[in-house]
C-alpha cells in the first residue's frame, strides 16, 4: 500500500508562501520586508490556483516563491535591520527618561549603515547586465533630481541624485554616446548607446513640482537608495574604462551658483584627448593615416608588379575598400514593396562633430540644462548663456562676435513694444535690448537642435527662425511602415492609385451639394414670402366680403368647391402626352444649342471640344478611371478569396487578422492624408487670395 500524502506538503501549497507567513519566518516587520524584497529583486507571484496555494480557508492575495524566502534567510541585511530595531528601542527608552543627549549620541554614533555592494554584485554578475537594467534607474534618479525638497524627500537625497546623474552625463559628453532625443508631453526622452546597449530614459521638464501625499515615498526612497548605488558602480566602471578619475572633482560653490554640469572637472590621463575627440578636426591623425596608406600602397604595387598581376583591378578593389571604410553601409530592400530596413546610426566621430564648429548662445527663455547637455554631447565645446542662468558658460556677453548661433524661444515683437535695455554697471557685461538681432548670427528655435541630432545632419535654420511655424517634431523611434502614414513624405508618394482624383470628385460633389442646398433654401424663403403675401391678400378679400354682407348658399358653395377641385386636379395632371411633349421640346432645345455651338466653333476655326470646355471628356475620364479602379479591386479580392480557399483554417484565420489590422491602419492613414490634402488646399487658397 502506498504512503498517504499529507495536505499542504506538495504541489502549489509547497511552492508558494503567503506574505504573512514570510514575514513571520524572517522575523522582521512588514516595511523591512518590503525594503529587503526591493533590494534583492524578489516580487510577488501569482499561482495558478489560489485555493490550492493557500493552506487556509480564506483566499490570500499576495504569494511568494518559497525558495525565494528561504534564500532571504541568509541575507546579511537582516542583521542590519535587527540592529536598527534594537537601536530604535534604546533611543525611545532614552527619550522616555528625558535623556536627550544620550538619544542623539546613540543616533549619531551607533546607527548601523547599510551597504548594498554585495547586492549589486549578486544581481548583476556582468557589467552588460547592469547596463540593460539602467533605464528605470536613470528615469527615477532624474525625477528625484528635479523634485523640490520636502519632509518626504530630504535635500540630501536630491543632491545625491543630481550628482550621480551629472556624472553620467559627463561620460556621455566625453564619449559622444548620445544618439537621439525627443520632446514629449511627459518630458524629454534620451537614448544613448554604451558598449552596444541602447539605454533610454525620461527626464521631466523643470516645472514647479507639487509633492502629493498620495504617493508612497518610502517605497520610492528604497528604489532610489538601490539605484544610486547601482549608478555609482556603473559610473565608476565607465570612468575607469576611459582612464578618468572617479569621482570627478566637484566645485560646491559653482554648483550653488547654478553651474550644474560645469561644476564638475574631469581628471585623468586621457582628459586632454577628450576635447580633441569632440572637436573631430585632428589634421595630424589624418596626415599620418594618409602617409601610412601611401607606404602600404607602394609596397603592394611592388608585389603586384613582381607577380605580374593586373594592377587596374586591384586599384579598383582598393578604392572600393577605402570608400567602404569611410562611409557607413546602407541597407536597401530587395523588393520595392518590402518594408524599410533599419539603417545604422551615426558613428561616434560623426555625432561628436555635428555642432563642433559653432559657438552657441542660449537665451534666458530657452531651457538651458537640456540644450547645454545635447550641444556638448554632439561636439559643441563653446556654449554661452546669460549670467542670470548660472555660472560655467563660455561667455555671458550676448554681443560677443564669436557667437555663430543663438537659440531664441520668444516671438518677434514690434519695435515699440520692446522694453529698453538695462543700464550696464561698472564691470558688468553690457546688456542687449530684448528682441534685437545681432548681424552675422543665425537665430533658431530650440527644436532645431533636437531635429538636427535626430536626422543626423544640420537642418535648414530658416525653417526654425523665431516666429515661424515649426515643422512637426516626430519621434525618431517610430519607423514609417508601408501601409501607415508618413508625415515626412509627400502626398503623391503615399497616395494610392486614383485616390487624389476620387478625393477631388468628392470635394466637387460636396461643393455642388452645398450650392444646391443654398439654392433650395433661397427657393424656400421665396416661397414663404409669396405665401405670406397671398395670405395677406386673402385676409383683405375676406374683410371686404364681411364688410359687403354677401349672402352665400351653403349647398351651392359645396358643389362649386367640388367642381373646382376636379378642374385643378385635371390641370395638375396634364396627361402623358404633355410630359412627352415637354421632354421632346427639351431635347430639341439641347440639339439646337449644340448645333449653334458647333456653328460658332466652325466659324472661329476651333474644334467643338475646346468651346465645350472639355467638361464632358473629363467626366468620362473620371468615370472610366473609377470603373477601372473598382474592377481592379474586385479582381484582387476574387484572387485573394481563391487563395484563401487553398489555405488551412489556422492560416486563413491568421491572414484575416493581418488583413484586418492592415485595413485599419490604411484607413487611419487615408484619414490623415485627407486632412493633409484639405490643409494644403486651404493654404494654396490663402496664398492665391494674397
Domain harbouring 352, CATH code: 3.40.50.10190
Spatial CA neighbour of 172 closest among 459, 389, 475, 375: 375
| pLDDT of res. 486 | 75
**Rounded Cα–Cα distance for residues 408 and 362 (Å):** 7
**Interacting residues of 134 by C-beta distance below 8 A, sequence separation 6+:** 199, 201, 230, 231, 234
Q: Over pLDDT 70: what percentage of the chain? A: 67
Among the residue ranges 19-28, 33-42, 108-117, 338-347, the one predicted with the least confidence is 338-347
Q: Over pLDDT 90: what percentage of the chain? A: 34
State whether 103 and 121 are in the same domain: no
Which of 223, 239, 271 is where one domain is finished? 271
| pLDDT of res. 32 | 93
Spatial CA neighbour of 353 closest among 455, 278, 405, 284: 278
pLDDT at 315 over 90: no
pLDDT at 615 over 60: no
State whether 409 and 493 are in the same domain: no
| pLDDT of res. 677 | 81
Q: Residue 164 belongs to what domain range? A: 117-271
Instruction: Find the Cα–Cα–Cα–Cα dihedral 400, 405, 410, 415, rounded to 10°.
Output: 50
pLDDT greater at residue 603 or residue 154: 154
Instruction: Find the Cα–Cα–Cα–Cα dihedral 174, 176, 177, 181, rounded to 10°.
Output: 120
State whether 456 and 392 are in the same domain: yes
pLDDT at 118 over 90: yes
**Interacting residues of 422 by C-beta distance below 8 A, sequence separation 6+:** 431
Which of 71, 90, 108 is where one domain is finished? 108
State whether 92 and 144 are in the same domain: no
Secondary structure of residue 249 in the 3-state scheme: strand
**Rounded Cα–Cα distance for residues 13 and 18 (Å):** 10
Whether 546 is in a domain gets the answer no
State whether 461 and 490 are in the same domain: no
Whether 545 is in a domain gets the answer no
In this prediction, residue 53 has a pLDDT band, given cuts at 50, 70 and 90, of confident
**Rounded Cα–Cα distance for residues 207 and 167 (Å):** 23
Tell me the range of 114-118, 269-273, 443-447, 603-607 where mean pLDDT is highest. Answer: 443-447
Report which secondary-structure segment, H or E, holds 321.
helix 311-326
Whether 520 is in a domain gets the answer no
Whether 366 is in a domain gets the answer yes
Round the average pLDDT of the chain to a whole number and report it: 77
Per-residue pLDDT, averaged over 404-414, amounts to: 87
Number of domains in the chain: 4
pLDDT at 279 over 50: no
> Would the pTM count as exceeding 0.95?
no
| pLDDT of res. 213 | 74
| pLDDT of res. 638 | 87
State whether 140 and 232 are in the same domain: yes
Q: Which three cell numbers stand for residue 4?
A: 498517504
In this prediction, residue 282 has a pLDDT band, given cuts at 50, 70 and 90, of very low
pLDDT greater at residue 554 or residue 134: 134
Which of 66, 81, 108 is where one domain is finished? 108
pLDDT at 314 over 70: no
pLDDT greater at residue 63 or residue 273: 63
| pLDDT of res. 501 | 66
pLDDT greater at residue 105 or residue 581: 105
Per-residue pLDDT, averaged over 576-590, amounts to: 58
State whether 258 and 121 are in the same domain: yes
Task: Tell me the per-residue pLDDT of 210-264, one tens digit each, with 9 for 90 and over.
Answer: 777 788 889 999 999 999 999 999 999 999 999 999 999 999 888 888 888 999 9
CB 31 within 8 A of CB 218: yes
| pLDDT of res. 311 | 43
| pLDDT of res. 611 | 46
Spatial CA neighbour of 227 closest among 208, 249, 201, 250: 201
Whether 140 is in a domain gets the answer yes
State whether 235 and 360 are in the same domain: no
Task: Tell me the per-residue pLDDT of 333-350, one tens digit each, with 9 for 90 and over.
Answer: 665 555 555 555 555 566
Per-residue pLDDT, averaged over 466-492, amounts to: 81
| pLDDT of res. 614 | 54
pLDDT at 362 over 70: yes
Per-residue pLDDT, averaged over 661-682, amounts to: 82
Is the preceding omega at residue 247 within 30 degrees of 0, hence cis? yes
**Interacting residues of 243 by C-beta distance below 8 A, sequence separation 6+:** 268, 269, 270
State whether 100 and 247 are in the same domain: no
| pLDDT of res. 607 | 64
Whether 595 is in a domain gets the answer no
Q: Which three cell numbers stand for residue 524?
A: 424656400
CB 476 within 8 A of CB 488: no
**Interacting residues of 360 by C-beta distance below 8 A, sequence separation 6+:** 371, 375, 380, 382, 383, 384, 403, 404, 405, 406, 407
Q: Which three cell numbers stand for residue 25?
A: 519566518
pLDDT at 679 over 50: yes
CB 161 within 8 A of CB 229: no
CB 459 within 8 A of CB 451: yes
Task: Tell me the per-residue pLDDT of 100-116, one tens digit each, with 9 for 90 and over.
Answer: 888 889 888 888 888 99
Whether 629 is in a domain gets the answer no
Whether 606 is in a domain gets the answer no
State whether 85 and 176 are in the same domain: no
pLDDT greater at residue 141 or residue 535: 141
Spatial CA neighbour of 485 closest among 679, 671, 683: 671
Per-residue pLDDT, averaged over 544-570, amounts to: 46
In this prediction, residue 463 has a pLDDT band, given cuts at 50, 70 and 90, of very high
Q: Which three cell numbers stand for residue 218?
A: 518610502
Report which secondary-structure segment, H or E, holds 129.
helix 127-132
Q: Which residues of 310-326 are buried (b: 16+ CB within 10 A; e: fewer)?
A: eeeeeeeeeeeeeeeee
Per-residue pLDDT, averaged over 669-676, amounts to: 83
State whether 128 and 217 are in the same domain: yes
State whether 78 and 133 are in the same domain: no
**Interacting residues of 239 by C-beta distance below 8 A, sequence separation 6+:** 167, 171, 245, 246, 248, 268
* Eight-class DSSP state of 272: T
Amino acid at each position: 500500500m502506498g504512503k498517504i500524502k499529507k495536505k499542504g506538503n506538495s504541489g502549489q501549497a509547497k511552492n508558494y508562501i503567503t506574505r504573512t507567513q514570510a514575514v513571520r519566518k524572517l522575523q522582521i516587520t512588514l516595511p523591512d520586508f518590503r525594503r529587503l524584497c526591493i533590494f534583492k529583486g524578489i516580487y510577488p507571484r501569482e499561482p495558478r490556483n489560489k485555493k490550492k496555494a493557500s493552506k487556509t480557508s480564506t483566499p490570500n492575495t499576495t504569494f511568494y516563491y518559497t525558495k525565494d524566502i528561504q534564500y532571504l534567510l541568509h541575507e546579511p541585511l537582516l542583521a542590519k535591520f535587527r540592529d536598527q530595531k534594537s537601536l530604535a528601542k534604546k533611543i525611545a527608552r532614552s527619550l522616555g527618561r528625558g535623556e536627550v543627549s544620550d538619544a542623539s549620541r546613540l543616533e549619531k554614533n551607533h546607527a548601523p549603515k547599510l551597504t548594498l555592494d554585495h547586492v549589486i554584485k549578486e544581481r548583476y554578475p556582468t557589467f552588460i547586465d547592469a547596463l540593460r537594467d539602467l533605464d528605470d534607474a536613470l528615469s527615477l534618479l532624474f525625477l528625484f533630481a528635479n523634485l523640490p525638497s520636502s519632509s518626504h524627500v530630504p535635500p540630501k537625497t536630491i543632491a545625491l541624485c543630481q550628482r550621480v546623474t551629472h556624472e553620467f552625463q559627463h561620460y556621455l559628453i566625453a564619449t559622444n554616446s548620445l544618439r537621439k532625443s525627443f520632446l514629449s508631453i511627459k518630458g524629454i526622452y534620451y537614448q544613448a548607446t554604451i558598449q552596444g546597449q541602447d539605454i533610454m530614459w525620461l527626464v521631466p521638464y523643470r516645472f514647479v513640482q507639487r509633492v502629493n501625499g498620495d504617493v508612497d515615498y518610502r517605497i520610492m526612497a528604497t528604489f532610489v537608495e538601490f539605484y544610486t548605488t547601482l549608478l555609482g558602480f556603473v559610473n565608476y566602471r565607465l570612468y575607469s574604462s576611459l582612464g578618468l578619475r572617479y569621482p570627478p572633482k566637484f566645485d560646491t560653490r559653482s554648483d550653488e551658483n547654478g553651474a550644474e554640469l560645469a561644476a564638475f572637472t574631469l581628471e585623468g590621463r586621457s582628459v586632454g584627448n577628450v576635447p580633441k575627440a569632440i572637436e573631430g578636426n585632428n589634421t595630424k591623425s589624418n596626415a599620418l593615416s594618409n602617409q601610412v596608406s601611401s607606404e602600404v600602397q607602394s609596397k603592394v604595387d611592388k608585389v603586384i608588379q613582381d607577380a605580374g598581376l593586373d594592377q587596374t583591378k586591384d586599384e579598383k578593389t582598393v578604392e572600393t575598400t577605402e570608400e567602404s571604410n569611410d562611409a557607413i553601409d546602407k541597407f536597401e530592400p530587395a523588393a520595392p514593396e518590402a518594408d524599410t530596413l533599419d539603417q545604422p546610426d551615426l558613428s561616434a566621430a560623426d555625432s561628436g562633430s555635428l555642432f563642433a564648429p559653432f559657438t552657441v548662445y542660449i537665451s534666458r527663455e530657452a531651457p538651458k540644462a537640456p540644450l547645454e547637455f545635447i550641444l556638448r554631447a554632439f561636439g559643441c565645446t563653446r556654449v554661452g548663456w546669460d549670467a542670470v542662468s548660472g555660472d560655467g558658460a563660455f561667455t555671458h556677453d550676448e554681443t560677443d562676435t564669436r557667437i555663430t548661433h543663438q537659440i531664441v524661444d520668444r516671438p518677434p515683437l514690434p519695435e515699440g513694444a520692446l522694453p529698453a535695455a538695462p543700464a550696464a554697471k561698472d564691470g558688468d557685461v553690457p546688456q542687449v535690448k530684448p528682441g534685437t538681432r545681432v548681424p552675422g548670427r543665425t537665430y533658431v528655435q530650440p527644436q532645431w537642435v533636437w531635429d538636427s541630432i535626430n536626422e543626423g545632419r544640420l537642418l535648414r535654420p530658416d525653417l526654425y527662425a523665431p516666429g515661424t511655424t515649426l515643422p512637426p517634431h516626430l519621434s525618431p523611434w517610430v519607423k514609417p511602415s508601408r501601409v501607415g502614414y508618413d508625415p515626412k513624405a509627400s502626398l503623391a508618394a503615399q497616395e494610392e492609385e486614383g485616390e487624389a482624383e476620387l478625393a477631388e470628385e468628392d470635394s466637387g460633389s460636396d461643393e455642388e451639394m452645398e450650392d444646391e442646398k443654398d439654392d433650395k433654401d433661397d427657393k424656400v424663403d421665396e416661397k414663404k414670402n409669396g405665401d405670406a403675401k397671398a395670405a395677406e391678400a386673402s385676409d383683405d378679400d375676406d374683410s371686404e366680403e364681411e364688410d359687403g354682407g354677401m349672402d352665400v348658399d351653403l349647398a351651392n358653395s359645396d358643389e362649386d368647391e367640388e367642381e373646382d377641385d376636379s378642374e385643378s386636379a385635371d390641370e395638375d395632371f396634364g396627361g402623358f402626352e404633355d410630359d412627352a411633349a415637354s421632354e421632346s421640346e427639351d431635347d430639341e432645345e439641347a440639339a439646337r444649342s449644340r448645333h449653334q455651338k458647333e456653328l460658332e466653333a466652325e466659324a472661329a476655326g476651333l474644334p467643338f471640344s475646346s468651346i465645350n470646355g472639355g467638361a464632358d471628356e473629363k467626366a468620362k475620364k473620371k468615370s472610366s478611371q473609377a470603373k477601372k479602379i473598382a474592377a481592379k479591386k474586385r479582381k484582387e479580392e476574387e484572387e485573394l478569396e481563391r487563395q484563401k480557399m487553398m489555405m488551412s483554417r489556422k492560416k486563413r484565420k491568421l491572414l484575416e487578422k493581418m488583413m484586418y489590422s492592415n485595413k485599419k491602419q490604411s484607413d487611419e492613414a487615408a484619414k490623415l492624408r485627407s486632412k493633409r490634402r484639405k490643409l494644403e488646399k486651404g493654404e494654396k487658397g490663402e496664398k492665391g487670395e494674397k
